């Protein structure tokens, strides 16, 4: 028993010494090498991260493409100018902003933790991120209310929910989202 404990302690000490040696050989990289006060740089490489980068980039491209398809379809065809479709159009615009700006920046930050785009881009990113998130939530709430009225009172739906009323709700919700940022 004593011999096994001594071997375990020796192995533990060797592991600790190897970890200490390993930790001493790590060089710290900063996002801006000239400034030691900048953030630490964490670049994720390897086949798993490259695969994940490709998958996330494809998701971003599909998000943009499919939301553009919805926006063009509803905007082009007059038959699709219904109250519900206007809400879906508004949701597609919010999701388009996510696919164009929020997702690519988050993918970039996932691969490389440094922010290289400057203060203005950081401010714009923050505004678009918060605006698109808040607008998506508001649109989902209005779509839920629209569907609730359509199901509970189908005979009076067309008189209660009109294109004009929904347009005002969309304008007010986007304005509210801009104001609260």
Structural domain spans, the chain: 2-180
CATH topology for 2-180?
A: Rhopdopsin 7-helix transmembrane proteins (1.20.1070)
Which of 171, 154, 160, 26 has its CA nearest to residue 86?
171
CB 132, CB 64: distance < 8 Å: no
Query: CA-CA distances (angstroms) from residue 8 to 15, 20, 33, 64?
Result: 10, 18, 42, 57
CB 31, CB 40: distance < 8 Å: yes
- Which of 52-78 are b and which e, b meaning 16 or more Cβ less than 10 Å from the residue's Cβ? ebeebeeebeebbeebeebbeebeeee
| Percent of the chain that is helix, strand, coil (3-state, to 5) | 80, 0, 20
pLDDT digits (tens, 9 = 90+) for 45-55: 788 888 999 99
What is the rounded CA–CA span in Å between residue 170 and residue 64? 21
State pTM to two decimals.
0.78
Confidence class for position 95, pLDDT limits 50, 70, 90: very high
What is the rounded CA–CA span in Å between residue 175 and residue 59? 29
pLDDT digits (tens, 9 = 90+) for 120-152: 998 999 999 999 999 999 999 999 999 999 999
């Amino acid at each position: 028993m004593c011999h096994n404990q001594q071997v375990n302690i020796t192995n533990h000490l060797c592991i600790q010494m190897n970890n200490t040696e390993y930790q001493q050989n790590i060089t710290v990289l900063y996002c801006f090498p000239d400034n030691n006060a900048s953030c630490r740089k964490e670049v994720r490489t390897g086949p798993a991260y490259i695969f994940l980068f490709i998958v996330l980039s494809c998701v971003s491209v599909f998000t943009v493409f499919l939301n553009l398809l919805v926006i063009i379809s509803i905007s082009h065809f007059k038959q699709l100018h219904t109250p519900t479709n206007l809400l879906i159009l508004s949701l597609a615009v919010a999701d388009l902003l996510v696919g164009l700006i929020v997702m690519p920046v988050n993918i970039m930050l996932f691969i490389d933790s440094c922010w290289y785009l400057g203060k203005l881009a950081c401010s714009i990113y923050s505004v678009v991120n918060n605006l698109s998130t808040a607008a998506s939530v508001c649109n989902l709430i209005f779509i839920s209310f629209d569907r609730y009225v359509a199901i509970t009172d189908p005979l009076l739906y067309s008189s209660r929910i009109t294109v004009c009323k929904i347009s005002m709700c969309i304008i007010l919700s986007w304005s509210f989202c801009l104001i609260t940022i």
